[in-house]
Amino acid sequence: MRVLDECESEAGRKEPPAEEIIEAFIRPPLRLVLKSKGEGRLFGKLVGRLHAEGGGMFLHIAKKHFVPVGKRFGKALQRAFPKLAEDELFWRLHCAGAVMAQTLARWDEMEVMSGGVLKTQDVDEAIPRLVRFLAAGFRAPAGDARPGRRKRKPALSEKRS
């Protein structure tokens, strides 16, 4: 949260750019876990596993540690995306957390799974990619319409009834 505080302080009266808020959300845990050896990596896998399994233990830990962080970043992101409804914003924040958890849990597998296209030596190269991806998700239009899909025409049997 210190990074978010610094980001907001540097912006002064203006809102910090959304990318800076998102980076403040993902950079500290990613660097903490992926720049370290041994215990840091194990912690990252544990966090990823907790997210993946959910339920009892995760909910207990989430209420104590993750909910306050989510609320704080939610407020900052609401100011950056004032047109997003609160429920839509928290869906997107949920997805951002899932991206981070997946990255933490599966970092070591990315190079293998991509056939060597992705290299996992430098987390500082990965962070801007994740920030761009997540910022695009927060900027995506809100609403019920699914992009690229037309409304379904009723079947003949539906027209007759």
Q: What is the mean pLDDT of the chain?
A: 83
Distance CA 111, CA 25 (A): 24
Distance CA 67, CA 64 (A): 7
pTM (whole model) above 0.85 = no
CATH 3.30.350.10 fits 2-140, yes or no: no
Structure tokens given for 99: 């991206």
Phi and psi at 116, nearest 5°, equal 90, -5
Q: What is the pLDDT of residues 36-81, one digit of tens each?
A: 777 777 777 777 677 677 677 777 777 787 788 889 999 999 999 9
The pLDDT, as a whole number, for residue 57 is 73
Confidence check: pLDDT of 22 > 90? yes
Is 84 or 53 the better-scoring residue by pLDDT?
A: 84
Q: Which helix or strand (DSSP H or E) is residue 127 part of? A: helix 123-139
Average pLDDT over residues 118-139: 91
Domain boundaries defined on the chain: 2-140
Where is average pLDDT lowest: 25-34, 39-48, 75-84, 93-102? 39-48
Is 4 or 35 the better-scoring residue by pLDDT?
A: 4
Distance CA 104, CA 106 (A): 6
Distance CA 126, CA 119 (A): 9
